[in-house]
Amino acid sequence: MPGITQEIMQYAPLIVMIVIFYFFLYRPQKKRQQQRNQMLDSLKKGDRIVTVGGLHGTIVALNERVVTLKIAEKVDVTVSRSSVNGLQSELKNTEK
C-alpha cells in the first residue's frame, strides 16, 4: 500500500499543473473565442467596425465569408469576415 501512495503523490504536481493550465489558460481563451464568434455572427449592415489591420469602416454588405466596408465616399473594400476585430463602439469602451 505505501508504494501505491508514493506513486500517486509523485504524479500530484503534474495533475495540479494540468488543472492550473486548464483554468488559467484554456478556459479564458475558449470564452474569448465564443464571444468573438458571437460578435461575428451578429454583424449587420450599418455596423461600424475595425479590422485587425486597423481599417475603420461601415458595413454595406456581408455574407457568410466576406464583409464589404465603406471606408470613404465611393470607396468600398471587401475583407474576410474573420479579419473583423470588433465593433468600433465596443473597442472604444474597452480602451477607456
- Could you read off the pLDDT of 2-31 as tens digits, one per residue? 667 888 888 889 999 999 988 888 889 999
User: Per-domain residue ranges for the chain?
Assistant: 1-42, 44-96
Separation CA 64–CA 80 (nearest Å): 9
**Where are the alpha helices (H) located in 1-96, listed in sequence order?**
2-21, 27-41, 88-95
- Whose CA is closest to 69, among 87, 47, 53, 52? 47
- Could you read off the pLDDT of 38-72 as tens digits, one per residue? 999 999 999 999 999 999 999 999 999 999 999 99
The C-alpha cell at 57 is 469602416
pLDDT of residue 22: 87
Q: What is the dihedral of CA 7, 12, 14, 16, to 10 degrees?
A: 170
Separation CA 78–CA 84 (nearest Å): 11
Does the domain formed by 44-96 have CATH 2.60.40?
no
Separation CA 42–CA 80 (nearest Å): 15
